Amino acid sequence: MPTLETIERRVVACRKCPELRAYCAEIGRVKKRAFLDQDYWSRPVPGWGDPRARVVLVGLAPGAHGSNRTGRVFTGDGSGEWLYRALHRAGFASQPNASHRDDGLVLRDTFITAAVRCAPPANKPTPEQRANCAPYLRDEFAALRNVRVVVTLGKIADDAVHALAKEIGTYCGPRGPFAHLAETVVDLPGRAGVTLLASYHPSRQNTNTGVLTESMLDAVFSRARSLLGPSPAKEV
């Protein structure tokens, strides 16, 4: 079974979607005016966080001028601002802001990843691009042995996680339609009763229009916290 470190190296070196690699490189060459003095990451973005995490967050894909610039998922854009503030309020993050990979942020009992690892044009990855990234998510789930709750941020992430659950696990009941705070329980290899908890994505499109509010996002992580059992025993 690959380790998280091995998966990270494979993700960063991935060239399965040359059109996305070219797109990300071009974004990093042209840059956004506010970031003209910065070097863009412009490579696939790996997951990150606590290797003993009981909560796993799955997003859509890197933002063109967020994760594609900083090299860390949900870091450096409006979506990340909302997400990390909520994680901090819920006790899953050491600080409420995430600006770059060396900003001192520490995730507690939480690991964050994405359905697609390269920034796609218009945030709309193709089915082929989603399929190319699926093995990385499968390997991360295998490596994260303590997972109890999976928070899916948006429908694309939700579909990716449910496709994985159908591949490697067993549903404990029917899957309902995607909706904010929708829950499905699945048995994964070696981990029975894992809850898949859906959330609207903290995109600017959702947060600026009130589709997702801070209280709604807080409710997601409050529910995730309530679903967790006792903390895993620390190794001596």
- And the tokens for 147? 């997972």
Position 235 in a domain: no
User: Rounded CA gap, 81 and 66, in Å?
Assistant: 10
So what's the pLDDT on residue 1? Answer: 80
Question: For residues 42 and 22, what is the distance between their CA atoms, to the nearest angstrom?
Answer: 9
Res 176: pLDDT:
87
| Domain presence at residue 26 | yes
For residue 14, what pLDDT band results from cuts at 50, 70 and 90?
A: very high
CA-closest candidate to residue 32, choices 96, 83, 76 = 76
Indicate whether 164 pLDDT > 90. yes
Domain count, the chain: 1
- Reply yes or no on whether the pLDDT at 231 is more than 90: no
Q: Render pLDDT for 33-71 as a digit per residue (tens, 0 to 9).
A: 999 999 999 999 999 999 999 999 999 999 999 999 999
What is the model's pLDDT at position 39? 97
pLDDT for the residue numbered 235: 43
Average pLDDT over residues 112-134: 97
| Confidence band, pLDDT 50/70/90 cuts, at residue 236 | very low
| pLDDT over 60 at 233, yes or no | no
pLDDT score of 170: 97
> β-strand 149-153 against 191-199: which pairing, if any?
parallel
Alpha-carbon distance of 201 to 204, in angstroms, equals: 9
Q: Domain range spanning residue 135?
A: 4-227
* CB atoms near residue 7 (< 10 Å): 21
Rounded Cα distance between 73 and 118, Å, is: 10
Count of Cβ atoms closer than 10 Å to residue 195 Cβ: 19
For residue 149, which of 184, 107, 200 has the smallest C-alpha distance?
184
Q: Is residue 129 part of a domain?
A: yes
* Residue 236 in domain: no
Residue 187 lies in a domain: yes
Phi, psi at 194, each rounded to 5°: -85, 130
Tell me the CATH number at 155.
3.40.470.10
CA distance 233 to 167: 29
Average pLDDT, the chain: 96
pLDDT in the model for residue 230: 58
Evaluate if residue 229 carries a pLDDT over 80: no
Does residue 234 fall inside a structural domain? no
Asked, for residue 14, whether it belongs to a domain, the answer is yes
In a domain, 220, yes or no: yes
Alpha carbons 193 and 41: distance in angstroms, whole number: 37
pLDDT over 80 (residue 232): no
Give the H/E segment covering residue 192.
strand 191-199
Percent of the chain with pLDDT over 90: 95
Look at residue 156 and tell me whether its pLDDT is greater than 90.
yes
Select from 51, 68, 167 the least CA-distant residue to 114.
68
Q: What is the mean pLDDT of residues 131-139?
A: 98
183 pLDDT above the threshold of 70: yes
Element (H, E) at 58: strand 55-59
- Average pLDDT of the residues in 103-130: 97
